[in-house]
Amino acid sequence: MKRNITLLGGGSWGTALAKLLSEKGHNITVWLRDEEQCKKLKTERINEKYLPKIKIPENILFTLDINEAAKDAEILLIVASTQAVRGILKEIKDQYKSNKIIINASKGIEKGTMCLVSQIVKEESNNCIYAVLSGPSHAEEVGLGMPTAITIACSNKTVAEEIQDIFMTSYFRVYTNDDVLGVELGGALKNIIALGAGISDGLGYGDNAKAALINRGIVEIARLGLAMGASIHTFYGLSGIGDLIVTCTSKLSRNWNAGHLIGQGLTKDEAITKVGMVVEGIPTSYAAYELSKKLNVEMPIVNAMYEVLEHNADVRETVKKLMLRDKKEEKL
């Protein structure tokens, strides 16, 4: 069945998902804030800044009017930065963000409030059914139709299966999950570990270091997740280990790239500017640090990233401190 779907955001992920959903026959509208970008997308059908190799189908509509975009939508798909989600939802009139299915495809935690997107949506909308789409998925590869597997998490099983049908194609396999919290946390926190992996590579450290970082990273993610009420099994899946692997090992990862630049000596602000896209792992590092303190969860990698980002700690000295912590038994 055709659905009216509005995407809130037109970056790389939004472009790739809009193309996929359009090819499935759905009515797709994309809201953007940038007037020049919107004009170019309408006329040239190429997202030159984010996905220059992808031809955008003619039947995808682009608009600068967020309420016009949301008015007739049955599904709102969030593909904007987590830090922008609250502000975007506040712009939509109440009658246009009530009784919808809201799917979040953003990965992060709101800095300051420590809110996940599910909590932001609950606060800023009314009677909506919330779902989160997450997993190892570079927009560049999805846009080119390369095989990808991902998870849709929703507390309503019927809606989860409906969304599964909406997205699933011969190259985009979708699994359902009912652990919304765990899937959100896995997608958000892996960006912090990816920053660390990039720093490790930027310092010239080898595969041993990165393997240890990825492994101990999933331990920290699971610790925080369990403290917040998520299922341990979720972190073994696509939105946990799966997403962590792809983000920590690929040069397509903006978080890995930002970390790599920091490891080579750039400041966080210089790295963000050079990457030229949202680096969710940076604000999420601050939020995760505050959450770990609030919940008394041991997260040494998150602590180390916080010191590097907030206090400009020397990265080599920070790694040394991590390695020389008190001896421990290997366990969660």
Angle between helices 300-311 and 207-228 (to 10 degrees): 100
Q: Residue with structure tokens 């341990």?
A: 232
Q: Which residues of 149-162 are buried (b: 16+ CB within 10 A; e: fewer)?
A: ebbbbbeeeebbeb
| Whether 174 contacts 150, CB under 8 Å | yes
Distance, in Å, from the CA atom of 35 to the CA atom of 88, rounded to the nearest integer, reads 16
**Is 190 a known active-site residue?**
yes
| Among 38, 320, 24, 331, CA closest to 172 | 24
Checking 304-312 for CB contacts under 8 A at 24+ apart, the result is 304/196, 305/192, 305/195, 305/196, 308/199, 308/262, 308/268, 309/268, 309/282, 309/285, 310/286, 312/267
Distance, in Å, from the CA atom of 318 to the CA atom of 190, rounded to the nearest integer, reads 19
Distance, in Å, from the CA atom of 62 to the CA atom of 275, rounded to the nearest integer, reads 25
Phi-psi region of 302 (alpha: psi -120 to 50; beta: other; left: phi over 0): alpha
Which tokens is 244 given?
């962590």
Distance, in Å, from the CA atom of 239 to the CA atom of 312, rounded to the nearest integer, reads 30
Query: In this structure, what DSSP letter does residue 48 have?
Result: T
Per annotation, catalytic residue among 100, 190, 210, 268 = 190
| Whether 166 contacts 21, CB under 8 Å | yes
Distance, in Å, from the CA atom of 224 to the CA atom of 229, rounded to the nearest integer, reads 9
Q: Residue 47 carries which side chain, given as an amino acid letter? A: N
Question: Which of the residues are catalytic?
Answer: 190
